[in-house]
Structure 1
């Protein structure tokens, strides 16, 4: 399939698909006239890339783990393929995620305490 069809099927603009190729995340073949040609599996690949980007991973991290993904939520890298640099990159990202989780939990607790202090006991607003 050509890039326009892949874009329509995934909802990802062609500009981003070209960027994913530049970042070595997608590997289309080239036809005789130079057009990109994507296989059917590119649809799932793009969806997986989008999901990983949406979860906060960088293209560098995705490039490191993408070859070992077996589907959404499944990663099976052979131990010898995870270099110390890749492991450190992923550990650092996990630490940043945990810091955000901790911050969100604190904010959740503070907002819950604030709402408990200001709302009437029946849970309705004063003007409702």
Structure 2
């Protein structure tokens, strides 16, 4: 049984998942023409209160969440940073960390069988948001 499991696991890593680029393709193919400039940038901003974010959320023309406001602001900063390189064909995906708390109930599994970190990542398509022309559309995309 373990041999079959190891073989399946090994073959799974060679297959494509969400994109057409496999893990075993050449580096030039995976880069897709992208070149790293060698320059990193850091962004600093003043702290803001949760009340400020909630006030923006509550003034939204449609129902929005705190996460919508924060993602909209982040995508707006990315759009501003990208400048003329951002257009209607820009594709943007982001891995967002999410909490996954578990309730074990009356019969919890043994300590060694439980998940250790209780969080994961969710892949989000932000292509519509980064192509939006104004901040309200960006927040609600």
Q: TM-score range by the shorter chain?
A: under 0.3
Structure with the largest fraction of helix: 1
Please report the TM-score for the alignment, with normalisation by the length of structure 2: 0.22
Give the structure, 1 or 2, with the largest relative contact order (CA under 8 Å, sep 6 or more): 2
Q: Give the TM-score taking structure 1 as reference length.
A: 0.24
